[in-house]
Structure 1
């Protein structure tokens, strides 16, 4: 369903005919969002296993809703650079042979992202956009879950990781003063590594397909 929503937004953007610039070079737009973060978290590779994971072990990161802000600078008519700020928190839970187990607890993520966006539409009209750019996921204060602690892990670390993001959305003007409703969808692609330790010794290392969907709704203010 989420993939379909993103595709529909992108098709609407592609169908729009550019007219008078929706914003001019040098404009700044500030957005305040409520954001739904839905990561995958599946294990793509077990690189080290000294605690004896049961055969068929798989994982899934839980979803979260968090506030985020975005700051956007128009480098030209229709073209902008956007960065986002926010922190989201997730547990990683077992599936398959470890269904219901908690493997990572309270991992906080800062998804540093910069996208180059192209905006469609005329001044005062609905303005779809598409974008893409790099991301760098910073993991903070993660801990081993109850299950991995019971297997001997005393510490856990998610490796910070570069990735990429695709983006599509739409700004819907509310008035002629720069206020708009904004809806945004991003899909990230990254493969971080999770490591568990017993003291200072690595006892488990896995690579994960994180690949979150990040769906946002809120208000935009253009200056």
Structure 2
């Protein structure tokens, strides 16, 4: 008898509980979580482009390490299946290292830089709005603003100065999924690939007055984010 009453009670609660509906036209979605930028590290060789040694190829390559920050997504649903989304984050910071160059003093940590990667995307949700699980794909445009470049103390001791890196425009692609816990709160996971290319330059008057070296870096990172979202 008690089991029957419990069964009836559970069924009644299930019927009374509201269904966790996913995204519908007009919804505003805010997502926040840990976001990691993992650069691919594909660069040209280091070349001297200014000064008496201009044209010299020093070989080697440049690398950037990964970094994790607070990621934010702001999305607006245009229809039940289509939305627009802006990716933002707190500034990422990367160490820039040179390795394998003919100038041994250049190898090691060249310096560090920070960047912000605002990305505007169009996103498609293929499932019905009533589904609590909402996978999605998206594509858009990224602008990577690189700033606060610093030469490391090691590089300064070897005569390096005036480290600069150019900003970048590129395409961005993503896949992700939301899972609605309630009508308003969701779990989120997403993976992005962003086309980021930069040209870095650094000067060294200790080698010869007016000497500047450059390297082109295809950063092209994979970006991972997991977190929570809230639908308004």
The normalised TM-score by structure 2 is 0.77
2:68 is matched with: 65
After TM superposition, give the deviation of residue 104 of structure 1 in Å: 2.6
2:97 is matched with: 93
2:119 is matched with: 113
Q: Does 1:170 align with 2:177?
A: yes
Structure 1: runs of 5+ lacking an equivalent: 1-20
C-alpha separation in 2, matches of 1:153 and 1:168: 41
1:192 is matched with: 198
- 1:20-51 per-residue CA deviation (whole Å, 9 max, x = no partner) reads x9422221000011011101233235453469
- 1:157-214 per-residue CA deviation (whole Å, 9 max, x = no partner) reads 1111101111000001111x22110001000112111121358956112111100111
2:87 is matched with: 84
The more displaced of 134-143 and 42-51 is 42-51
C-alpha separation in 2, matches of 1:158 and 1:134: 20
Superposed, which structure 2 residues align to 1:1-223 within 5 Å?
22-44=22-44, 46=46, 48-49=48-49, 55-86=58-89, 87-97=91-101, 101-105=108-112, 107-122=113-128, 123-175=130-182, 177-198=183-204, 201=210, 203-223=212-232
Structure 2: runs of 5+ lacking an equivalent: 1-20
After TM superposition, give the deviation of residue 55 of structure 1 in Å: 4.5
C-alpha separation in 1, matches of 2:188 and 2:211: 45
Q: CA RMSD in A?
A: 2.6
Which of these two proteins has the greater Rg computed from alpha carbons? 2
Count of residues paired in the alignment: 201
- 1:112-151 per-residue CA deviation (whole Å, 9 max, x = no partner) reads 1001000122324211000011100001201123454344
